[in-house]
Amino acid sequence: MTETCNVVVLISGSGSNLQALIDDLHSAGSQARIRAVISNRADAQGLARAQAAGIETRVLDHKGYEGREAFDAALMAEIDAFAPQLVVLAGFMRILSSAFVRHYHGRLLNIHPSLLPLHKGLDTHRRALEAGDAEHGCSVHFVTEELDGGPLVVQAALPIEAEDTPALLAARVHCQEHLIYPLAVRWFAEGRLHLGADGAMLDGAKLPATGHLIRT
């Protein structure tokens, strides 16, 4: 892929992963460009981050729509106006409808704060500690209709320390999120990453079930 890969990022909150993407993808030589940042919350701090970087922003309040399907249809129209090759979920706190996921099949990425398939859903850091896990981390995956269940692209794993609390663990995991999410988006923009019939493919080879695993 030699032309620019247009990216739309969806957020609901502070946008720390968005900032990592902005810092990485807007550097010289990057083939990805964030065309727009869309939030379902007008008070999302990430909107200010995008505006500071000169990126267009949109707010689409889900409370103004009757049901998930109506909101997702409006959201798809907003996204498609920017003609993106890739849609990135960066703390977008909405469960997406099947129609939305199918519409962006193979070009929708998410990051999750656990080593999937462990600890799908919320409150992952506390759950990892309570389970006595030896390691924890984060995962980038293609989005499918199974919640937090799409093919894995890249994971970063780190050892859980004796002094870790949920807050300390979250902070350490966030640092890894800010490394692996831009990496996955760069791979996609460069044409190295795609979703094949049998799973995530990198450089023409099927990735293992864990995705590309990085241990720190």
Q: Which residues are catalytic?
A: 112
Report residue 138: phi and psi, to 5°. -145, 160
Beta bridge partners of 109: 88, 142
Integer angstrom CA distances of residue 127 from 28, 123, 140: 40, 6, 19
| Residue 88 tokens, joined | 């990135």
Beta bridge partners of 6: 33
Cβ atoms of residues 113 and 92 within 8 Å:
no
| Residue 101 tokens, joined | 């996921």
Cβ atoms of residues 17 and 180 within 8 Å:
no
Distance CA 91, CA 157 (A): 20
Distance CA 86, CA 114 (A): 23
Distance CA 99, CA 105 (A): 10
